[in-house]
Amino acid sequence: MSTEQALKTKITILPNGPLIVEGDFDIISPDGSTEMAQGKGKVALCRCGATQSKPFCDGSHSKIGFKD
């Protein structure tokens, strides 16, 4: 596997749901703190705004009937 492939990050938009982010990435809060530091991972980020665990999805989109 090349270095470019190893560092690739993929974002998938789920219909009426969250953004799924996979790969090597950092999530930086507005205050500058790092939520997830360098490392391979997979997270679901909220698009509906109703989650109680921002910026992560907690499934609230299905409860509020979010449509993309």
**Reduced to 3 states, what is the DSSP secondary structure of residue 40?**
strand
pLDDT at 43: 92
| Count of C-beta atoms within a 10 Å radius of residue 16 | 13
Determine the 3-state secondary structure of 64 from DSSP: helix
pLDDT in tens, the chain (68 residues): 455 556 689 999 999 999 999 998 888 888 998 876 555 689 999 999 999 999 999 999 999 999 99
Which pLDDT does position 62 carry in this prediction?
96
3-class secondary-structure state, position 9: coil
